[in-house]
Amino acid sequence: MAQSTLTKAIRTSESMEPALSFSTQEQAAQRKLEALRTKNGKRPNIVWLLIDDMGYGDPGAFGGGAAIGAATPNMDRLAREGLKLTSTYSQATCTPTRSAILTGRLPVRTGLTRPILAGDKITKNPWSDEVSLPKLLGDAGYKTVLSGKWHVGEAEGMRPHDVGFDEFYGYYGAQKEITQHVYKARYPDLVLNPERLEMLRKTGSSVALIHGFKGGKTTEVQTVDTPEKMAEGDRLLKEFSVAKIKELARGREPFFLEHAFMKVHADNFASKAFEGKSASKYPYKDAVVEVDAYIGEIVKALEDAGVLENTFIFITSDNGPQLDSWPDGGYTPFRGAKGSAWEGGVRVPGIAYWKDTITPGRESDELFDLMDLFNTSLNLAGIPGKIPTDRYIDGIDQTSFLIEDGGRSRREKIYIWNEHNLMSMRMYEYKIHIKVVQHHAQWLNIDMTTVSDVGLAPWLFNLYIDPKEQYPVGHRMNAWLASMAAELKAHAATFKKYPPKDIGLAQ
């Protein structure tokens, strides 16, 4: 597969994304991991704290916090005491990100290119031939738990406890999808129309808190029949995760916990304990304060259980803020928002924390894709050899970048897709667009947008001098435009041997 002369990344396998090589850094990281396993007597626990629709600029550590009416002391502290990643990238919407981090593969490869919505009839179970991270970790002796939002399929065979997790306690869909049948202030034409409400209910979409076990029972814990019940959803999830950490910490096996918050995805309803607790007093800001408080409680639970020093924690958001629901939406300093390939849609906060292993006070603007969590987690678990070789893996092992002092990112490029469209690529501080999402009304970054070709030449931005992607530098100011275009062609070539999968979400 061809590459440009610009790249320094090395392709070690045709089924693996090329990566930068820093042999001294990588060897030092492996020695550190081996010493930790010897000291602790078992492999490290892995905890992901995934927030829904939080903007890059919402946490104080990334320019928001108290300055915009919602202090985030816990996220800020973890960013100070760990590694703050200022160029972390997600997919443009939630289902694509949630599938990508569990498979290490771009959504266009798995077919999970957009959220599966009420009434969708998919033609194939995408998980039937995918290999998930919890499956690989479970086979290696890890206990695996998902607490919170799933949104990657709720039919039998597609549920979290069907695809590798030992246990699932959470909700299949997003907050809006669960409460729209009872929130008459926003959806009166649905809630007050019995005929249409019955039509929605016949789609079979779950509106309940679910508790499921691999190979065991799946039960509905609570039906969400009022907005007030959804308001307390994250509290219930936090209580479950805190109790589960205590239980898992007593066992001999290491564990993988993905705690996926329901908030701050619209529609946000303030929990009784947090209503008005933000300086802003708006429901979205109260939700940010609530999520931050629960992050503090989960980390404290790890500490109280005596396993914090042997737990890798990663905090992030699944995509940029949903501005269509403004003011029930987050903040980004960048152009665009959820649903777009602009920085505002895919650039998210990233915090890596591991007490006594990641040196406090580190900050890096080098590239990190949330898909890298797949490869990295397998290496932390001591099973990098379990990465599948029969399909293309887009993730890169970033262990040495995260845990070594002065670690360099092994990722050279971020490829950005929007459903089935290859949109853009970031390489170094440059971003090249071959297609763009154009929005035609303020705040309506999903509901009034079109996808367009860029025209005669790709749009090339230097994000260090133009982080809002407002003025292309193009070939007149940048000699690498042609080389970056060649890298896009090299990426497209990977789909010739490893074609994209269609599960019926193409339209």
Catalytically annotated residues: 94, 151
- Residue 438: count other Cβ atoms within 10 Å of its Cβ: 12
Residues listed for the chain: 507
The helix, strand and coil proportions of the chain, stated in percent and rounded to the nearest 5, come to: 35, 20, 45
Strands (DSSP E) found in 227-310: 255-260
| DSSP designation for 59 | S
Are the C-beta atoms of residues 319 and 53 closer than 8 Å to each other? yes
* Nearest-angstrom CA–CA distance, 32 and 450: 49
Torsions phi, psi for 500 (to 5 deg): -65, 155
Residue 337 DSSP code: -
| DSSP-assigned letter for residue 265 | S
How many Cβ atoms sit within 10 Å of the Cβ of residue 138?
Answer: 18
- According to DSSP, residue 271 is labeled -
Q: Minimal CA–CA distance to 150: which of 63, 258, 33, 227? A: 258
DSSP three-state, residue 71: coil
In angstroms, rounded to a whole number, what is the distance separating the alpha carbons of residues 182 and 117?
18
